[in-house]
Amino acid sequence: MPSPDDVASALGALGFRAPGDALRALVSHLTKTRASPAQCYEQLVALERRERDAKNLERRNRAATLGAFKALDRFDWNHPRSVDRGLYEELLELSFLDKGENILFRGQSGIGKTNLAQALGHAALTKGHTVRFTTLAAALADLSRQESVPALERRLRRYTAVDLLILDELGYLPCDSRSADLFYAIISRRHERRSTVISTNLAYKQWNTVFPGAACVVALIDRFAQHCHVIDIDAESWRSKEANQRERQSKKR
């Protein structure tokens, strides 16, 4: 009878991705319990599926570049004066992804827009979707650096092919007309096919101030807003709140 080491080596040679230690432990357990062939097959497949799912999630996490964010169970929903928590929790079910619908988080700086967008991205990752998180400025700078049309087309796929694209901080830095055209290319290629999340401190009518003189802004907004869930957040900046608390505490000393 082959040893657990022999079986683990053979399975590894066949392309099993589960670690050797896990395979040897499972083979030893199946041998001791005198599992049936069907049980052996079922548990080996389950182990391999778990490993592949974990590797796949790890790979998609790296590609998503979500960064650090506060888990939703630590998010203080009582802090905002106004926010549609019910809509956000409905969006966490991710049915909007199947319809290619968009999401807009809107409100002043420092109120949790980015955190809510990141948490939504994380929920999509855990359900098997591909995600990319970036600031709008970084995405446009990345595309602007491409020196040829073929290179630009290849790099555009980084932003157009993912199931969920999160573009953070629209309105914080001005952009030129070429950047507006690149932004339009992203939105138009994703329109009604894949979902895009944008966070901003600006109303739609103010977007043209970010791209002064760009002719495509109206068409860009028209496509993004056509199938869009809007979450407006009215709140004091978290950073301002924490700074005020520190100041009050220091005065008490």
Q: pLDDT tens digit string along 131-164?
A: 999 999 999 999 999 999 999 999 999 999 999 9
C-beta separation of 160 from 189 below 8 A: yes
The pLDDT score that the predictor gives to residue 163 is 98
Q: Give the model's pLDDT for residue 224.
A: 98
User: Would you state the pLDDT for residue 6?
Assistant: 76
Secondary structure (3-state) at 17: coil
Q: Which residues contact 168 (CB under 8 A, 6 or more apart)?
A: 113, 114, 117, 133, 134, 135, 136, 198, 199
Residue 165 and residue 199: Cα distance in Å, rounded? 11
What integer pLDDT is reported at residue 251 of this predicted model? 58
Q: Give yes or no for residue 14 having a pLDDT over 80.
A: no
Predicted confidence (pLDDT) at residue 193 exceeds the cutoff of 60: yes
d(CA 106, CA 209): 16
- pTM for the model stands at 0.80
**How far apart (Å, rounded) are the C-alpha atoms in residues 67 and 233?**
22
Residues in CB range of 57: below 8 A, 6 or more apart: 125, 126
In the predicted model, is pLDDT for residue 243 greater than 60?
Answer: no
Mean pLDDT for 107-129 is 94
Kindly indicate the confidence band of residue 241, based on its pLDDT and cuts at 50, 70 and 90: low
Confidence (pLDDT) at 2: 73
What is the rounded average pLDDT of the residues 157-180? 94
Structure tokens at 60: 């998609």
Please give the helix or strand (H or E) that residue 133 lies within, else none. strand 131-135
Return mean pLDDT, the chain. Answer: 89
For helices 113-126 and 37-64, the axis angle rounded to 10 degrees is: 150
Strand partners, 232: 106
* Token reading at 150: 């073929």
223: pLDDT strictly greater than 90:
yes
